[in-house]
Amino acid sequence: MFRAYGIQFSWKTGIPSNGTSMGVKGERCSDGYTTFHKSCYLLNNQVSSWIEANQMCLMFGGSLIEVDDNEEYSFIQGYLNEHGQEEGILLGAFLTRNKYNSYDSTTEYKSNPGYWMGADSIELPGHWFWIQGKHSVDFTILDSKEINVTDSSCLYFDKKNMYQARNIGCHTLMYSICEKKIPA
């Protein structure tokens, strides 16, 4: 548990208590992170916009995930299938106006659209760039038939489509994946 911007968060992970998982021998990530090759990953199961999600990742010394190749892409898809957040979160509260009138303002957030990744087409619609270093998304995670570019479009792992890369408005609320590179 931790607090950021006055909100209490918890991170759902599936790693052993020694803080390492699936990494290169001798390399470690902090508790709560999962290791793959030269990166540490952390699932953030607090819904937020793309910008808010990246700000939370930056607070922990990382950023939203930047997928370097198809091997990493496949690893993340498998990891999300096994450890991703299930659907169904209650939002709201039971409110009382007076002793005779009250109402339940609880709503259920039933949809888990997926997890944010660190790529957008905000600066140049139709062209995808990773937020760290601003280099282009240059491998085959994108299916042009499935990508609908808008002026403020960001990439995410779409739960309904086996965590394939899709785009959606950056203001949409969903979960995210933080990535920290392991220093050489």
Q: C-alpha dihedral over 41, 45, 48, 49, to 10 degrees?
A: 40
Q: Is the residue at 90 inside a domain?
A: no
For residue 64, being part of any structural domain is answered with yes
Does 132 map to a domain?
yes
Question: What's the CATH code of the domain at 117?
Answer: 3.10.100.10
pLDDT tens digits along 73-102: 999 999 999 988 765 444 444 444 455 555
User: Would residue 66 count as lying in a domain?
Assistant: yes
Quickly state the pLDDT bin for 179 (edges 50, 70, 90): very high
In a domain, 91, yes or no: no
Mean pLDDT is lowest, of 83-97, 103-117, 148-162, for 83-97
